[in-house]
Every structure is written in C-alpha cells, then in structure tokens.
Amino acid sequence: MNKSILELLNPDNCTLILIDHQPQMFFGVESANRETIINNVVGLAKAAKIFKVPTILTTVAAKTFSGPLIPQLQAVFPNQQPIDRTTMNSWEDKNLVAAVQKTNRKKLLIAALWTEICLAFPAISAIQAGYEVYAVVDASGATTLEAHNMAIQRMIEVGVIPVTWVQVLCELQRDWAREETYAAVMNLAKEHAGAYGIGIFYAESMLGKNHGG
C-alpha cells in the first residue's frame, strides 16, 4: 500500500476540484435531493476556504449548454473564474491539469456532476497520473442512484477513496483546540451540517461555547 494514502487530509496536502455544478447538470440528477447536493457542495467549498485549501472550479460548455456555475457556489469564490471545458473528462483539459500541477499537491478532493461521468472519468485518470483521489460523494450526484453507486464502486476498484463533506471538514480541523479555525468551522457546521449543526447550536445554547464534535 502507498503509505502516503495513510496520511490524513490536512490543509497543506490537498487540493479541491469542483466539477460542473451547473444548472443543466443538476436537471439530470436523480440520485439524491438536488438541494441537499447544493448544500453539501457549498459546505465543502466553504470548508476549503476556511482552511485555505487550493480550490479549482471548472464548468463544461457554460455559455452554450450547461449554464454558469450555480450562484451559491460562485459566491464562495466570487473573484475566481471557473475553467470552462468541452471535454467530459476534465483531466483531458490542459488548463485544468495545469491548475492541479500548479498546486504541487498529490491528494485531490473531487466533487462533480455527474458522478458516473464527470467525477469517475477524471478521478480514474488522476489515479493513473499518480495522484491520490478522494471522491466527495455527497457533494456529487448522478442520473440515477444506481449510476451513482456503480460509479463509486468502479472508482474504489482503481483506488479512489470515497469521503463525505463533513468528514473532510472534521479531518481538516482535527483538533478542537485549533482556535484559528474553530469558530468558522462551528459556524459552517451550524449553517450546512444538518442535525450535527443543530446539535452544536443546542450545546452552545444550553452548555456554553467550545463544544465540538
């Protein structure tokens, strides 16, 4: 086993790639509630921003077919222009690969629409290129639940590691004594982490501050 895979994610060893979270792509999603996916990918993006994880945004045929990046996600990085492509497999776009190489990091977190194409294809290609890939499955969506699950299974077969966005958030924080990001993480969890966020609100209300996970 590649020992570097055993190293947990931290703010200094990973890059986030968000692929094709666009209106036309959401229209075809049936694997999960679309609002849930939006909530999760925005939460993931905000987590990356809190920890200063390099984040690459990319779209496909934004002006001719799929529409722009959804506004909730673009608002997290208001000054960042997504890399627009024609390729289904974003790893076949030289501008995206160049952006990944520029970060000089081998661990890639990827979320995409659709799971069976826009997540699976670049994830497999990145593995082939020597990267470690973590597929953020609850910030991704497919045309059917079966397509989503089969794509995850296919990716696991080649070494892609499935994760969820709250798992990523907590793995980046890791220590509740890390005060420089604690408050931002708690606020993000309350805003986007569902029942976990409600639990934090309750703990803060009834027991005082500084109650983490």
Catalytic residues: 118
Alpha carbons 56 and 69: distance in angstroms, whole number:
12
Alpha carbons 173 and 168: distance in angstroms, whole number:
9
Q: By the 8 A CB rule, do 152 and 137 touch?
A: yes
Query: Angle at the Cα of 211 (from 207 to 212), degrees rounded to 5?
Result: 155
Alpha carbons 114 and 55: distance in angstroms, whole number:
19
3-state secondary structure of 193: coil
Alpha carbons 75 and 62: distance in angstroms, whole number:
17
Give phi and psi for 39, each to the nearest 5.
Answer: -55, -45
Alpha carbons 23 and 5: distance in angstroms, whole number:
34
